[in-house]
């Protein structure tokens, strides 16, 4: 869902999270995330690596940006577009 439309109190499903559509929700389910609350306190890079391991493919680094965005949201930060995290990801994980 687009971050501007997310109302934290109404988020019950993965697709209710900012930046999460059907495909990314399915990817989260593949790595054992079935409810938005399960993202709180997680490490985005660990989730990204687990997704790559489970699917046996290297996902685009922008998937990590999405994971950063939803973990931060789950931890209480405001909803923001995933691309707001691209510069941070590039500086923190330059080898991705």
Give the DSSP per-residue string, 68-93.
HHHHHHHTTPPP--GGGGHHHHHHH-
**pLDDT tens profile 71-81:** 999 999 999 99
pLDDT band at 5 (very low <50, low <70, confident <90, very high): confident
CB 13 within 8 A of CB 36: yes
In which domain, by residue range, is 55 found?
3-92
Query: What pTM was estimated for this model as a whole?
Result: 0.94
In this prediction, residue 55 carries a pLDDT of: 98
pLDDT band at 4 (very low <50, low <70, confident <90, very high): confident
Q: Domains in the chain: how many in total? A: 1
């Amino acid at each position: 869902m687009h971050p501007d439309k997310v109302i934290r109190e109404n988020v019950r499903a993965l697709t209710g999270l900012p930046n999460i559509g059907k495909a990314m929700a399915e990817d989260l389910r593949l790595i054992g995330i079935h409810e938005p609350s399960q993202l709180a306190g997680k490490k985005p890079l660990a989730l990204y690596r687990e997704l790559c391991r489970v699917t046996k493919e290297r996902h685009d680094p922008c998937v990590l940006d999405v994971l950063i965005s939803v973990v931060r949201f789950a931890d209480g930060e405001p909803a923001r577009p995933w691309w707001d995290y691209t510069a941070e990801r590039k500086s923190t994980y330059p080898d991705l």
